[in-house]
């Protein structure tokens, strides 16, 4: 499994080659000495093969003081071997974990946030300090438009309107009509399920410059199922149904290439979902 943050092809390749350095152990039940001691042995057995190890506490009902001390001791043992211990879904145990020296920056709200953090750190080690420095692309750099000629891209460039958004601005809201999609030229957006409590909903995905979003609803015409919010200053190009109809009429090859690009992206998403199902079912 990997985090839901979308990566460039270069970063995907780097993580495919080194992602095994991130390990996650999902725990359940009541953690006492007798139940956590095997976890310690398992974690130390993993240590020679990883750089980051995440303890997922989502299904943990309780942690007694002895197990808390064992977590701290495990953190120290792993650190001596160059491995960083992280914890996710530990909100209920935040204070006792902090009392054992598990810093706030080592605790994450969910496994996706923890995995993204580990991947970012790993990419920084592999690619360099400025691994995430490129945040602006042009139309030819957009995978969705792959295969189009320079003349076709120039034609599109003159027609596709530019949309800008500040951090926190909502570009798509759940329930909206699916009458457009976006090519992200700069910045990033986060996809979240709508929240019933008014706070931020569950994060489903993060898109960065060069990627497209909103194309699934555009294809099937269903109302939007999630909110898409700018997480950094955004510059995007918007394609609505009127413009797509113009492509079909005036430049059918451009419309076909665009549909092919959408199909590739949906296929990639499906393969990812299948891999996650396999990971969960074993």
Q: Tens digit of pLDDT for each residue in 79-123? A: 999 999 999 999 999 999 999 999 999 999 889 889 999 999 999
Tokens of 245: 């109809």
Given its phi and psi angles, is residue 161 left (phi above 0), alpha (psi -120 to 50 degrees) or beta? Answer: beta
pLDDT band of residue 272 (cuts 50, 70, 90) is confident
pLDDT band of residue 281 (cuts 50, 70, 90) is low
Q: Which domains are present in the chain? A: 9-127 (3.30.750.24), 139-281 (2.60.120.10)
Query: Looking at 188-197, 198-207, 224-233, which range is the least confident one?
Result: 198-207
Compare 72 and 137 and report the one with higher pLDDT: 72
Query: Looking at 5-9, 34-38, 110-114, which range is the least confident one?
Result: 5-9
Greatest CA separation for the chain: 72
Tokens of 276: 């996650």
Q: What is the pLDDT of residue 229?
A: 93
Q: For residues 23-45, give the mean pLDDT.
A: 95
Tokens of 102: 């598990």
- 206 Cβ partners below 8 Å, 6+ apart? 4, 5, 6, 116, 188, 189, 190, 191, 231
Confirm if 188 and 208 have CB atoms less than 8 A apart: yes
Q: What is the pLDDT of residue 202?
A: 80
C-alpha 261/C-alpha 269 separation (Å) is: 13
C-alpha 251/C-alpha 259 separation (Å) is: 13
- Distances in Å between the Cα of 40 and the Cα atoms of 23, 99, 137, 154 are 14, 19, 45, 59
Confirm if 81 and 50 have CB atoms less than 8 A apart: no
165 has which bridge partners?
234
The share of the chain scoring above pLDDT 90, in percent, equals 62
Query: Looking at 62-66, 142-146, 168-172, which range is the least confident one?
Result: 142-146
C-alpha 15/C-alpha 172 separation (Å) is: 30
Confirm if 227 and 143 have CB atoms less than 8 A apart: no
Q: Where are the beta strands (DSSP E) in 49-168?
A: 52-63, 84-88, 107-108, 162-165
What distance, in Å, lies between the first and last C-alpha atoms of the chain?
A: 12
Q: For residues 63-83, give the mean pLDDT.
A: 96
Q: What is the pLDDT of residue 242?
A: 95
Q: Is residue 282's pLDDT more than 70?
A: no
Residue holding tokens 């909206």? 176
pTM of the model: 0.69
pLDDT band of residue 199 (cuts 50, 70, 90) is low
- 176 Cβ partners below 8 Å, 6+ apart? 223, 224
Q: What is the pLDDT of residue 198?
A: 65
26 has which bridge partners?
56
Q: Is residue 129's pLDDT more than 60?
A: yes
């Amino acid at each position: 499994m990997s985090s839901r943050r979308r990566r460039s092809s270069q970063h995907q390749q780097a993580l495919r080659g080194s992602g095994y350095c991130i390990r996650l152990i999902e725990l359940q039940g009541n953690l006492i000495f007798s139940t956590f001691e095997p976890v310690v042995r398992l974690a130390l057995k993993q240590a020679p093969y990883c750089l980051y190890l995440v303890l997922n506490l989502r299904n943990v009902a309780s942690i007694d003081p002895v197990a808390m001390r064992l977590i701290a001791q495990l953190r120290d043992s792993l650190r001596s071997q160059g491995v960083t211990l992280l914890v996710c879904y530990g909100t209920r145990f935040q204070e006792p974990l902090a009392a054992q020296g598990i810093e706030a920056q080592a605790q994450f709200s969910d496994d996706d946030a923890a995995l993204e953090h580990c991947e970012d750190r790993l990419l920084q080690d592999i690619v360099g300090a400025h691994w995430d420095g490129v945040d602006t692309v042009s139309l030819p750099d957009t995978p969705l438009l792959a295969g189009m000629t320079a003349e076709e891209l120039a034609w599109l460039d003159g027609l596709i309107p530019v949309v800008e958004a500040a951090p926190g601005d909502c570009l798509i809201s759940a329930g909206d009509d699916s009458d457009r999609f976006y090519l992200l030229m700069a910045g990033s957006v986060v996809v979240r399920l709508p929240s019933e409590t008014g706070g931020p909903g569950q994060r489903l995905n993060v898109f960065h410059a060069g990627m497209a979003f909103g194309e699934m609803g555009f294809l099937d015409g269903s109302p939007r199922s999630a909110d898409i919010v700018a997480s950094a200053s955004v510059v995007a190009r918007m394609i609505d149904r009127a413009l797509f109809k113009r492509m079909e009429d005036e430049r059918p090859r451009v419309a076909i290439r665009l549909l092919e690009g959408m199909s590739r992206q949906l296929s990639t998403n499906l393969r990812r979902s299948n891999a996650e199902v396999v990971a969960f079912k074993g």
